[in-house]
Amino acid sequence: MKYYSTNKKAPVVSLQEAVVKGLAPDRGLYMPERIDRLPAGFFEEIENYELHEIAKTVAEVFFGEDIPKEKLDAIVSDTLNFEIPLKEVEEGVYVLELFHGPTFAFKDVGARFMARMLSHFVQEGKEEVNVLVATSGDTGSAVANGFLGVEGIKVFVLYPSGKVSEMQEAQFTTLGQNITALEVDGTFDDCQTLVKSAFMDEELNSRLKLTSANSINVARFLPQSFYYFWAYAQLKRELQDAKVVVSVPSGNLGNLTAGLFAKRMGLSVDKFIAVNNRNDVFREYLQTGKYIPRTSVQTIANAMDVGAPSNFERILDLYGHSHEAITADVSSYKYSDEEIRMAISNVYAKSDYLLDPHGACAYLALKEGKKPDETGIFLATAHPAKFRETVGSCIRGSLQIPDALAAFMKNKKQSISLPKDFNLFKKQLIDQS
């Protein structure tokens, strides 16, 4: 399958080129030339399939023309070596727990898949690749751990100083080996701008082969569609013919875009809710039709602290730049830190279920946006223990930290401090490579 740029000013490329390049030369994001619908029989029997079977079927649609089935199936199986359970929180409200992977966040799915796909292509090309990733929290840890020790690949994680949780920071600054953490004096948007600027720098690209592991990369965001199908399969085991609404914590919009791709492939989701914190650029677009990026502000749901979401371009392209078509499928709400804290406290007291700040946002939006005859699924994107101080203060108690998560805190931090200056960032990349 070929991939084109959302800006339509770059040549179409193969899957391998799209994955290795990350960003198109015209600064657009790559999109598959077509999105095939899955057969009706697949959905009629979906509740009888397991996670690996569903993911392999979906992966075949996206990547089957470019990667041998045996290899692609192995990538899927190796990626999804953990559970993604759907649980009922209260009547008509279900949570999809996406935090059972090695870094306890939803991005383990896309990051692990991309690491294995990129490794496949690197082994074919026999050329060292440098992976650049900007993170507002969980992306950095998922990518760093997904690529840790992968031969032929170096990873540079850029993160805003003082704006990720202590636990998140430990997950990518203590690894060493082929992982370099760059602590930037700025916001997530500054980190993302540095990454995008690196791809546009001719000298840098002539010296180094660069790619991105943010959701701008097709190998990162497309696999995230797997768990939407899996959530529906689990729900269908309990409820037939449910009208399904899915609430998605939204920052860089990769998770939402993957869900919209799943819908385009035939998944029966009536509506998506894109929930924002105070960084509500996308919500404002849905309400007004005007997209006005702005500097992000810090909140307790830090993975959603994005003021210029990259995947907005993909959503526009998917819907032919029609605001009317987008709003027919997507609504949005925003919540303050105080509202998020109250949700964590209230749900724990009422249902004995512990939310992280991002899941709390999604829960609130689902309760506000779901009609009585609809069944709601919200995404819990990170383990509450990754935000132990915030969550602990909400429930007025201590959280039990999983042993595998606590282990990250025992190692020494290794990071390089940088101002938000591209020339210094460029020099660092050259010196480290």
What residues are labeled active site? Answer: 107
Dihedrals φ, ψ of 224, to 5°? -65, -15
Please give the single-letter amino acid code of residue 44.
Answer: E
Dihedrals φ, ψ of 113, to 5°? -65, -45
Per the CB < 8 A criterion, the answer to whether 143 and 131 are in contact is yes
The region that residue 162 occupies, defined by phi over 0 for left and psi between -120 and 50 for alpha, beta otherwise, is: left
CB atoms < 10 A from the CB of 412, how many? Answer: 8
Dihedrals φ, ψ of 303, to 5°? -65, -15
In the chain, the largest separation of any two C-alpha atoms, in whole Å, equals: 59
Which residues are CB-contacts of 197 (< 8 A; sequence separation ≥ 6)? 422
| H or E element, residue 403 | helix 403-406
Q: Which residues pair with 210 in a beta bridge?
A: 130
The full DSSP string for 61-102 is HHHTTTS-HHHHHHHHHHH--S---EEEEETTEEEEE---ST
Per the CB < 8 A criterion, the answer to whether 214 and 310 are in contact is yes
The full DSSP string for 328-391 is HHEEEEE--HHHHHHHHHHHHHHH--PPPHHHHHHHHHHHHH--TT-EEEEEE-B-GGGGHHHH
